[in-house]
Structure 1
């Protein structure tokens, strides 16, 4: 037994980094794979412009509806990026795609259940007597509000002003093909092969950006002393930006981040709300993954806009939900 213990490697900063890197990779890669397979199926089987015909003609109304799509198609932030790229190419209005991209990792049943559980707002089949559902309600409602606001802002821009040139050109090509009445005539097997090839390209493209973000996140998690955050938690002006910055660098999955936020006793409920809304919308891995779809300047504007919007709304929104909540 002593021999086996002596053979174990000594703890090291490099070992901690590799462990953190692999843990995030193994957690996020399956979701990226699922998302890219879904995106390939959309590319091959979804008729062009079907979404545009199904959604309301009013772009504002369709954007409002897009904020709820996560309840029907629940995906985490790792899987949603390749999906919205294909949806945009298939005719989904850009404002709806951005709204869905930001809201889906928050506005979905899995995240609602995990938040209820983490904050002890739901136990078994009964409401917790000592708690209430304010955090879950605040998280889902603020996530929806922020996503819709950003989507409505995007309404003012054309796809070529927001998307990367390669993706914008594919949208124009799809529109031209639709106008000439061209359609994919391949049989089921041919479409399935096309779906797998599209999935493979999307996975390799997305995984590259994902890996870059994970490297940066792992370095922060293992090489930086995070105890410094406790010194700013009690400062009203520093608590929100510091915890939002933490959410960005930790790059947690939206299905599990509530279990990290709940025990943060030093931070207020409003600060925890900002953590739970900003993180799924913008973190380091998403910063690079968004770059595979949007122009770089748009990604920067999105980062700044979400940071300011969530930071400004978190405290009054939590106060509003707490004042409206009627304990069962």
Structure 2
């Protein structure tokens, strides 16, 4: 094994963002790596540009703002591996790094945390709903329009406490967050509504983690591969292939979800759904396609590109141009 990755006189160094959610995710992965390898792991906290900027993700570009500093630390040898929320990763492959594992994916849904225990259906016309994601704005806007209502979507940033605080103080009627994040920090009791993926498709890769290390650390990469879940990896590969083929970043109003379809007791297809829309919800392009399982990495990439081509033919590119806040 490489001296860098498995030096006996020190622990493996896991690079992580400083947010409570990132630390919770990284601690879980650290425990799994300890159990898998018998090797001690210590967390190295790193501040990213996305953590310090107060601009909306749409304004600062979104793609890579939460991961670049971690990747630079990996390449400099300051940490041995890093844990990211996979939906934050740019779709381009980084030179010198490898995606060693995609662990079992958490709940992919978005959730509502609203005043007075309100569900999405119960939110009144004119309700002020906070979210930092143009994707959510587009789909919530379309949902409200389909019911003859209109929500005021308010762009927000910050950690879970900051976002939920807007509701607690009465500044917003509700905020939309990822179910996986609340589950990982033990806050699911604050959810007032789990949003069906038929109403709001998640971000590509939502609910999944990415465990990354230097490509030269082949022994460490092989060990970390013990955390990999093949179904989660192929699903997020299809979703991210769609995102890449649309030439969209993680701040674009794009939702995607790959899931398995069964014929009776037999799982025989993977369905990939995608949506692109204007942030006011006035126009959506929403399509799906399927492919047989088991599915290889190349098959998943091809499935994403196929759906992207169909969406672009329906005008998706013009809608993504509406994403600026």
Instruction: State which structure, 1 or 2, has the greater radius of gyration over its C-alpha atoms.
Output: 1
| Greater percentage in strand | 2
TM-score past 0.5 threshold: no
TM-score, with structure 2 as normaliser: 0.24
